[in-house]
Amino acid sequence: MAVAVSVPRDRLRDPALHAIADKLAQGERLSTQDGVSLFRSPDLLGVGALADAANRARHGDVVTFAANQHINPTNICVLRKTCVFCGYARLPKEEGAYRYSLDQVLAEAEPARNGMTREFHIVGGLDMQAGLEYYATMFRALKREHPQVHIKALTAVEIAHLARIEKLSWSDVLTSLKEAGLDTLPGGGAETFSAAVREQIADKKLGGADYIGVHRTAHALGIRSNCTLLYGHVESFEDRVAHMEMLRDLQDETGGFLAFIPLAYHPDDNELGRRLGREGSASTGFDDLRTLAVGRLFLDNFAHIKSHWIMVTQGLSQASLHFGVNDLEGTVVREKVYHAVGAHTPQAMSLDALLRLIRGAAKIPAERDSFYRILRRFDKAEAA
């Protein structure tokens, strides 16, 4: 539901933003052209002021986080040669290829006994030897050992892969996994939906319409999900807006998305970075802030816009709290996917550091559960 947002005109230096500001003040939905104009505007602070007002109208000064733990059970992937932006995947016989046994997964999950972890975020490659039973057994065991921990697992691409290798429908796969303990789906695998872009960066991957189809099926089964956009590679601003429009349409239909998470493309140690001659230079801070802000404004039916500090640095994530972001990807234990492609940020942040970061932006930190229910607000600078 769009909320009415008003920003004083003198904060908008770019006249192109005035008509957009008028629409937002009326609680009107932005058009595709408005989305592109926001991306093209040189007035980052103006775009940010609009996004900040939209965010404050929903969340005030509260910024949430969830203490989660990533588990990447296999890096073996049949698309290793065709997802040219991915530095994580391996072919089965390649050096560095791994697939965890159940015991190894449980050992990875062990730190969750600290009582802090509220969510396992489990994603991996499209591994022919990791079928439905592999994941169902894993989820059952994790629920048995850590019944209080939410399982957010398997991207739409992995669900479709399981359906294909098991000769089942998406709905059958999701139903079995839900019975085994799956709670929600993460947003990975979306990349950029444009068919022309996909052809260049992820030729054989599940298409945009099918990504939407898997999420629609999940929502119908009561499995809520996140969604993402991989930006900063070969896509245009028009592609980014078209992508967001598909997400906005599904959200109108089902209301099943919890959060939108733009992911900044990292060019190191992957084929696309080498082709583009971009190794060593990731997305710019300007583009990161702008993409988060446009997400907040364009996706008027999304409650939560999340910044992933592992990808854009902690400092940038902190600044993004004034550009429409209300949620930070929280404490992450031993994360592998991004560190395979050159993210140099620390792999985990302590609760204290996260609280300092949010308070340093003059915001109120609050711990949430996986459905964004607030569990604890840290109003005062008390010890965590």
Q: Decide: residue 140, CB within 10 A, 0-12 exposed, 13-18 middle, 19+ buried.
A: middle
Helix (H, G, I), strand (E, B) or coil at 315: helix
Nearest distance, CB of residue 125 and ligand SF4, angstroms = 4
| Rounded least distance, CB 79 to ligand SF4, Å | 4
Q: Which is nearer to ligand SF4, 51 or 123 (CB)?
A: 123
Among 70, 80, 233, 308, binds ligand SF4 (CB under 6 A): 80
Write down the least CB distance from residue 370 to ligand SF4, Å.
Answer: 22
Give the nearer residue to ligand SF4 in terms of CB position, either 82 or 254: 82
Which of 59, 198, 219, 266: binder of ligand V47 (CB under 6 A)? 266
Return all residues near 269 (Cβ < 8 A) that are at least 6 apart. Answer: 87, 279, 340, 341, 342
Task: Tell me the window of 73-81, 96-104, 259-267, 321-329 that interacts with ligand SF4 (CB under 6 A).
Answer: 73-81
CB of residue 315 vs ligand SF4: minimum separation in angstroms?
A: 27
Using CB under 6 A as the binding rule, whether residue 305 contacts ligand SF4 is answered as no
Touching ligand V47, residues 297-356 (CB under 6 A): 308, 329, 337, 341
CA distance 269 to 341: 5
Choosing from 63, 66, 79, 316, the residue that interacts with ligand SF4 (CB under 6 A) is 79
- What per-residue string of b and e applies to 322-361 under the rule 16 or more CB within 10 Å gives b? bbbbbbbbbbbbebebbbbbbbebeebbebeebbebbbeb
Regarding 125 and contact with ligand SF4 (CB under 6 A), the answer is: yes
**Considering only residues 176, 192, 217, 226, which one is a binding residue for ligand V47 as defined by CB under 6 A?**
226
Phi/psi region, residue 228 (left: phi>0; alpha: psi -120 to 50; beta: rest), is beta
Cβ-based neighbours of 85, under 8 Å, separated by 6 or more: 191, 201, 202, 230, 233, 265, 270, 271, 272, 273, 341
Of 7 and 214, the one with the shorter C-beta distance to ligand V47 is 214
SS3 content of the chain, % helix, strand, coil (to 5): 45, 15, 40
Cβ closer to ligand V47: 46 or 118?
Answer: 118
Among 21, 83, 258, 299, the residue binding ligand SF4 under the rule CB under 6 A is 83
Binding segment for ligand SF4 among 78-86, 95-103, 229-237, 375-383 (CB under 6 A)? 78-86
Residue 293's binding partner, choosing from ligand SF4, ligand V47, none, with beta-carbon cut-off 5 to 8 A by kind?
none
Order of strands across the sheet that contains 374-377: 225-231, 257-264, 304-307, 327-329, 62-66, 364-368, 374-377
Minimum gap (Å) between residue 187 Cβ and ligand V47: 4
Closer Cβ to ligand V47, 125 or 187, answer by number: 187
Q: Which is nearer to ligand V47, 46 or 189 (CB)?
A: 189
Write the single-letter amino acid at 312: V
Query: Tokens representing 91?
Result: 């072919």
For binding to ligand V47 (CB under 6 A), which residues are involved?
A: 85-87, 186-189, 191, 226, 228, 230, 261, 263, 265-266, 270, 308, 329, 337, 341
